[in-house]
Amino acid sequence: MKTGRWLQNYPHFLERVYQLTEWLFKRLDPAIRRIGYGRIDRWIHVPEAWAKRAVFGCKMCGQCILHSTGMTCPMNCPKNLRNGPCGGVRPNGHCEVIPEMRCVWVEAYERSLRMPIYGQELLELQPPVNRRLEDSSAWINLLTGMDKRVPAGWAGMSYIPLVPKEMGGWGDE
Ligand code: SF4
């Protein structure tokens, strides 16, 4: 896990790896569809879980939003918040539930500022997590679009107001 944390502190490298992997999966989509999404899921979800657990402490939610959350897994938040932080962040940036742990969302924010490709996606409002996708491959769910399905009545992914540059944010484009 130490190596994972070290790697997470190079979020630009990780977002490039994500970009390349997404490109690869999309190129392979026609072949994957022919073989069967379910079958490929059974083959890849174990190595996917292993690799993402080692680096990100992944909980295999099946709807990976790492690249939108500063390459920091939101499921490590004890409240499983997909939009954070909550109001309980301590003045030292630590979690109110696990005081010895830094808030996942403080780390997500800090890292997203060093992500020129996907950093601004931290401002996207994420839909509630779909627990039925747990333990399935997020890559396959991305290809099938299952990871984007939202509950009836959900207004869609909208942006929250931008953080001004002078406050260390991205500012208006
Ligand atoms: S967002 Fe979900 S799939 Fe991605 S690392 Fe976290 S638990 Fe794993």
Give the residue, out of 15, 45, 60, with the most ligand 1 atoms within 8 A of its beta carbon, to mutate for a pocket test.
Answer: 60
In this prediction, residue 44 has a pLDDT band, given cuts at 50, 70 and 90, of: very high
Q: Could you tell me if 117 and 15 are in contact, meaning their C-beta atoms sit under 8 angstroms apart?
A: yes
Residue 167: predicted pLDDT: 57
Nearest CA owner, ligand 1 atom 5? 58
Ligand 1 site-directed mutation target among 65, 133, 140, most atoms within 8 Å of CB: 65
| Distance of CA 60 from the midpoint of ligand 1 (Å) | 5
- How far is the C-alpha of 33 from the C-alpha of 146, rounded, in Å? 14
Model confidence at 166: pLDDT above 90: no
Q: pLDDT at residue 164 above 80?
A: no
Mean per-residue pLDDT, 153-157: 60
pLDDT digits over 77-114, tens only?
A: 999 999 999 999 999 999 999 999 999 999 999 999 99
Residues near ligand 1 with C-beta < 6 Å?
52, 56, 58-61, 64-66, 73-75, 138
The DSSP string of 34-54 is HH-HHHHHHHHHHHHHHHHHH
Supply the pLDDT for residue 125: 86
Looking at the predicted structure, is the pLDDT value of residue 135 above 80?
yes
Q: For 36-48, what is the mean pLDDT?
A: 96
Q: Ligand 1, atom 1: nearest CA belongs to which residue?
A: 64
Distance 136 CA to ligand 1 centre (A): 11
What ranges in the chain are assigned the alpha helix state H? 2-8, 11-35, 37-56, 104-112, 138-144
Atom of ligand 1 nearest to the CA of 59: 7
Mean pLDDT computed over every residue of the chain: 90
Q: Which residues pair with 159 in a beta bridge?
A: 124
Residue 85, preceding peptide bond in cis (omega within 30° of 0) = yes
Distance 166 CA to ligand 1 centre (A): 31
Mean pLDDT of all residues in 122-138: 92
In this predicted structure, the answer to whether residue 48 has a pLDDT above a threshold of 50 is yes
pLDDT at 173: 45
Closest protein CA for atom 6 of ligand 1: 73
Instruction: Compute the average pLDDT of residues 148-154.
Output: 77
Q: What pLDDT shows up at residue 116?
A: 96
Write the single-letter amino acid at 58: C
- What pLDDT does 33 receive? 97
